[in-house]
Structure formats: structure tokens, C-alpha cells
Chain A
Amino acid sequence: MTDEAEILFALIRARYGARLDPAQLADVRATVAGIVRDVAALRAAAIPDGAEPAQPFIPYRSDA
């Protein structure tokens, strides 16, 4: 696991560790490692500065 994955897993263990047994914690740890790999791939992708999030927000007016 990378340092980032270990730190993020520690956060999750702190939040939810009391609910999880060692086998479940190991499963969560493996999932966190996968998430960190995915996120690393995203961070490595070139995105133009002007690319905004493709997420609609529409100002609301009740009479519009």
C-alpha cells in the first residue's frame, strides 16, 4: 500500500473500525488501495485548464 492509502485507511479504521472484524478490515484496506490506484490514474490524466465539471447547476426561480 502507498502512504496515501495507509493514511486514508487509518481514517476509515478510526471512523468505523469498531464495527469491523480483522477480516473485514483487511477487505476495506484492499478496497482503499484500489481507490487510491483509480484516483492516481485520474490525477495523471491531462485535463485542459478550462474544463469545468460536467455537472448541471441551474439557478432556481419559482416563477421561471
Chain B
Amino acid sequence: MSVAFRTIRELAADIRAGRLSPVALAEACLRGLETAGRRLNAVVTTTRGRALEQAARAERELAAGHDRGPLHGIPYGVKDLLATGGGIPTTWGAAPFRERCFDEDATVIRRLDEAGAVLVGKLAMVELAGGMGYRQPNASFTGPGVSPWSAAAWSGGSSSGSGSAVGAGLLPFAIGSETWGSILGPATYCGVSGLRPTYGRVSRHGAMPLAWTLDKLGPLALTADDCGLVLEAIAGRDPRDPTTSDRPYRYDGTAGERRFRFAVVRGTVEAAEPAVRASVTRALDTLHALGSVEDTTLPDRPYEPMARVILWVEGAAAFQDLVEGGGIAGLTAPEDRITPYARDAILAKDYVRALRLRGVVAREIDAVLGRFDAIVGPSRGVAGPRLDAEFRSAIRGGVPDVLGAIGNAAGLPAVGVPCGFTDEGLPVGLQFLGRAWEENTILAAARAWQAHTDWHRRRPPREPTL
């Protein structure tokens, strides 16, 4: 039985029906990561010993009637910025840290352990989560991430391997992180679903800090429904991350048919490149079948400069020793070796001004979102940048990304789902951006979208044999 491109729910049903063993499933995923995964530059380290031990335990427990839930026996990978104990390196995608090990697992990995999931690999990422200012895909010591959809296209960053491993059907889900665009970007370019949770929903303990007030961890999977299953396992208060919330989270995947209220922020679709604009415009037409779609406007604010200043200052502080000590000279991307120096130019009062504006923006956007279930728009304004060329990035000021800037600076949840293809066959994504703590609402909307369309069931040209 092929296990490629099977959702968590499908695999869980196969396991419980005795059609699939967790050990055989883990073996298949390990094989896929070690072959196709390497070709896509999606893998840093496979965790074979740990994976087979966890899979065997899952098999024993399920046989004994101890069912930990839908992730029990399901393989997954994590972006290599999540700490792992047991001598498994955690490299942050950066050559200077390629041998570095931590003593214990990140909270997210511990929670997935408790849910019975099976860690099969540490996945490739843009060095230091892209926070140094990279502007082309070759920005990791594992090489540029390759899209499963084209050997000439980038998988996106910074959760490159998380996107491409799921998009190539090598894993049912993976964990990524987003400071600005790092889950929704790879989800888009690799043709999968990606969920950026509300800031504080998921513990960051054990994750590489890039920008303390912007970093979020979340799943990439084949469907929005699977993203919800994973979120339930990893969400919740963690005393080791004081920014986590006491709000409980239970994924509601059973919500019946309902009508949604969608808003489109004027200018956000128009700002996308033509191929993306065309797909997203068609998607917005289709959304009328699921509810109302209204144009709306936002106050005229410097959203992208606000988010950039917060990201740059916090990133400069997080890596102060590496930058000032000259350690960035060991990074892969030439621009990552020099751009961070420029951030000394930002004055403290301007950073505080950005934080003050963030509070104002958070209230204004909440007032807008209070009237809708979600704001919808392109997940990314461009499709599949070339592997060998510079790309334009909102983080560097090259392209507008109002929804990304607001969503990340205000800590709002968003789910990105496939919504079409360019003429070159590269995936395009649609995002549902929600009010804080409304993951269930945006996941319900994304599920309804995926029940109504089949973009998420399209497969890349070269399917792996798992």
C-alpha cells in the first residue's frame, strides 16, 4: 500500500483497521526522506533510531488498546530550529551551528511525543529562519530548497523542508515556524496547507528565537483539517514560554455547513503578480458559493515598515553576538554575511514607536475582523521564485505584503491553502486571516473551501514511491 499523499485521518484509519503498521509507515517515510527528500534539499537529519523506537511503541500501545488520538503512530518532521535531545543536532540551517546539540526536546516535540506521533526527521530551513536578509534561495548549508512542482523553482522559506517534504508526499505533516511568511510561503510554493496560529497559542520553548514577539510555530499538512488535528496536539499554556495563553484549544473539525462572511482588503489582490492575481480572483468568485465576499478598506498605516522594524531589531538583538563577533561570515548566502550590520542603524525609540503602532493596528484590525469570519487574499503575491535568481521580498521592502505584515505583527492566525496554478504549473495559495484565537473559524472556512475544490488533491509531476 502506498502511503504517499495520505492524510493524517486516512493513515490513522488505516492503522486502526490493521491495514498499516506504524513501523512500516515510519520506514516508508524515512526511505522517502533519505531519497527524494535529499534531492529536494528538504532534509538535514533523519532520526531513524528514535523514529523506529517510537513507531514500535505506538504499535504496541495501539494493539493493547491504548489510543492516544489521531496522531498516534503518524510520522512527522520538524523544521531544524526546534531543539532535539538525544544527540540529534539542531542546526538552525546555518553552517556555524551544523554540529550543535541541545540537551532536551522543544515543547512542541514533547507534546507530539505525548500524542504518539513519530519524529522521523529534522527538516531543512533557510539559515537562521531568513532573519539575516537573504534574497535568493541558496541560503542554507543544505542547499536551496527545491519545490516538488518544478526542479527549477524554490520551495519557499524559511520552512523550506517542511513545505517540500509534505508537498512531495514524503510526510503527512511537518512543523514550521513563521515570523513573517515562513509557513504560508512554503505552503504556497509547495502546494500544501499551512497554519500560522495566533501568537501565544503554541509554545516557542526550545525553538530558535528570531523575533521574540513575532515568532509562531505551526503545522504544514495536506489539508486544513489535518492542520487542525496537529494544532490541538501542540497548543496550550507552557510555563517555559511565558507568552503562551491559558486559553484552551480543542480543534472542532465537525462544524456543519454554514455560510461565511469574507472580506477582501482593497489593493491586496491587485498587488499580486498577474498569474497569482488571476488564480486568486477566480478563487474569490468561487468563495461566493460558501458565503458573502465584501470589499473592505483598512486605515492608511505603514504596516510593512512597522513589521520590518520589529523583525530587524529583535533579530539583531537575538543574534547580536553572532553578528558583532563576525560569525555571520560563515553563513551560506553572501547577503546574510553583511545585511545584519545595517540594522545598527535603527534607533531604540523607533523600535518602540513600531511597538506602539502595533497596538493601535491590533485594535483597528480586530474591529474589522469583528464583522467578518476571515479576510481572504493571496497567501503570497508571487508564485514559485526561480531557484537561481534573486526574489523580491516584503521583508526587504521589495514587494507589498499588507496581510502578512498585519497578520504577523498583530499575532493573528492564518491558514493558507492551494487555490490554483500558474501557466508554468506552479501552485498559488489563498489565505484566510482570522481574528485572534479564531483558528477554528478559519480552519472551518478552509475546510469548506477544500470540500468545494480539489486544488489540494493535485499532485506534483514526479510522485515518490513510498
Contact = CB atoms under 8 A, between A and B. Distances in A.
Is B one of A's binding partners? Answer: yes
Contacts of B350: 39, 42-43
A53 B312 contact: no
Interface string A1-13: 0000100110110
A52 B345 contact: no
B345 A58 contact: no
B359 A28 contact: no
A19 B346 CA distance: 20
Given A8-B345, A56-B243, A19 B356 contact: no
A48 B356 CA distance: 9
A53 B359 contact: yes
A45 B307 CA distance: 14
A44 B345 CA distance: 18
Interface string B171-214: 00000000000000000000000000000000000000000010
Contact of B305 (A20, A38, A56): A38
A12 B341 contact: yes
A35 B312 contact: yes
A23 to B, nearest CB: 9
A16 B213 contact: no
B370 interface: no
A12 B213 contact: no
A53 to B, nearest CB: 4
Contacts of A44: 302
Interface centre among A16, A43, A45, A53 (most CB of B within 10 A): A45
Interface in B326-371: 326, 329, 335, 337-339, 341-347, 350, 352-360, 362
B170 interface: no
B357 A28 contact: no
Interface of A: 5, 8-9, 11-12, 15-16, 19-20, 24, 27-28, 31-32, 34-39, 41-45, 47-48, 51-56, 58
Interface of B: 133, 213, 242-243, 301-302, 304-306, 308-309, 312, 326, 329, 335, 337-339, 341-347, 350, 352-360, 362, 396-397
17 contacts: A20-B338, A20-B341, A28-B341, A31-B342, A32-B345, A35-B309, A35-B342, A37-B305, A38-B304, A38-B305, A38-B309, A41-B302, A42-B354, A45-B302, A45-B357, A53-B352, A54-B359
